[in-house]
Amino acid sequence: MVWTGMTSMSLRPLAVIGFDADDTLWQNEHYYRLTERTFVDLLAGYAEGRNISERLLEAERRNLSHYGFGIKGFTLSMIETALEITEGRVPARVIGDILGIGRELLSHPVDTLPHVHETLEALTGDYFLVLITKGDLFDQERKLAQSGLGDFFDAVEIVSDKTATTYRRIFSRHGDGPERAMMVGNSLKSDIVPAIAAGAFGVFVPHELTWVLESVEKPVEAPRFREIDTLRALPELIASLG
């Protein structure tokens, strides 16, 4: 028998696993919500809380295509909202406070979510693990460094958006394409739907807090859609693929 260099490893249904970072590996949205609460308090004299939050969300939605995802864009959207709500009368001191809470958000503690460490430890070495995240470059690099999870990953991709094209490119660069790749994350819109559209598996791990702009319908009909309650269930799910 002549071996052609194909090993059992290269025949496995999966070679590359992409992991989202925010609210998949560590807490993120929780800190945004705390900051938003402080922002609402800062503007309490000008409008009702719910109205302030709605206006902020509108500003964020408008600004996504200009600023992209992340804390810097969020801070600019808070300032814009403050100007709007006060019809330009917001005191400079309050603008200073908004910049301050934005900066604070950039240094929030990195709380790794349950079972992340053990799951990455179980998979690293057997699969090519790539962290795929959007957001501010500095912020994501800081969080990865502080999480202590960096050594589990073979590659890190900090991207401006997560589309099917993004996943096709990343899974081709680090493997042999989306066919033998999987994306794991808490956002149906960014992690799951586009990864499945690219041809990969999409494993949805819901987080109790998910930004409204990240929610779309679950692709329950897609053959490559999976859902697990916790990352702990991931190695077993992978083993079940064959």
Smaller CB distance to Mg ion: residue 27 or 63?
27
Full DSSP string of 153-164: -SEEEEES---H
Q: Does 139 bind Mg ion (CB under 5 A)?
A: no
**Least separation, in Å, of the C-beta of 93 and Mg ion?**
34
Q: Which stretch binds Mg ion (CB under 5 A): 86-94, 136-144, 183-191, 224-232?
A: 183-191
Phi–psi pair at 132, nearest 5 degrees: -125, 110
Which range binds Mg ion by CB under 5 A, 23-31, 75-83, 106-114, 147-155?
23-31
Is 186 among the residues that bind Mg ion (CB under 5 A)? yes
**Options 17, 18, 19, 20; binder of Mg ion; rule CB under 5 A:** 20
Distance from C-alpha of 225 to C-alpha of 234, rounded to nearest angstrom: 13
Q: Which of 23, 36, 136, 157 binds Mg ion (CB under 5 A)?
A: 23
Query: What's CA 234's distance to the chain center, in Å?
Result: 18
Place of tokens 């194909």: 6
Stretch that binds Mg ion, among 14-22, 79-87, 167-175, 218-226 (CB under 5 A): 14-22
Query: How many residues touch Mg ion (CB under 5 A)?
Result: 5
Q: C-beta of 23: minimal distance to Mg ion in Å?
A: 4
d(CA 32, CA 177): 34
Give 33 or 89: the residue with its C-beta nearer to Mg ion.
33
Q: Which is nearer to Mg ion, 23 or 139 (CB)?
A: 23
Cα gap 59→83, rounded to integer Å: 11
Q: At 227, give phi and psi (nearest 5°).
A: -140, 135
Q: Count the residues in the chain.
A: 242
**Least Å distance between CB 194 and Mg ion?**
13
Residue 9's SS3 state is helix
| C-beta separation of 203 from 181 below 8 A | no
Dist CA 16 CA 177 (whole Å):
9
| Between 23 and 60, CB nearer to Mg ion | 23
Distance of closest approach, residue 214 Cβ to Mg ion, in angstroms: 7
Stretch that binds Mg ion, among 18-26, 42-50, 102-110, 152-160 (CB under 5 A): 18-26
Quick one: which of 182, 170, 174, 176 has its CA closest to 235?
A: 182
Let me know: does 163 contact 51? Beta carbons within 8 Å. no
81 vs 140 by CB, closer to Mg ion? 140
Q: Which of 16, 18, 19, 22 binds Mg ion (CB under 5 A)?
A: 22
Residues that bind Mg ion (CB under 5 A): 20, 22-23, 186-187
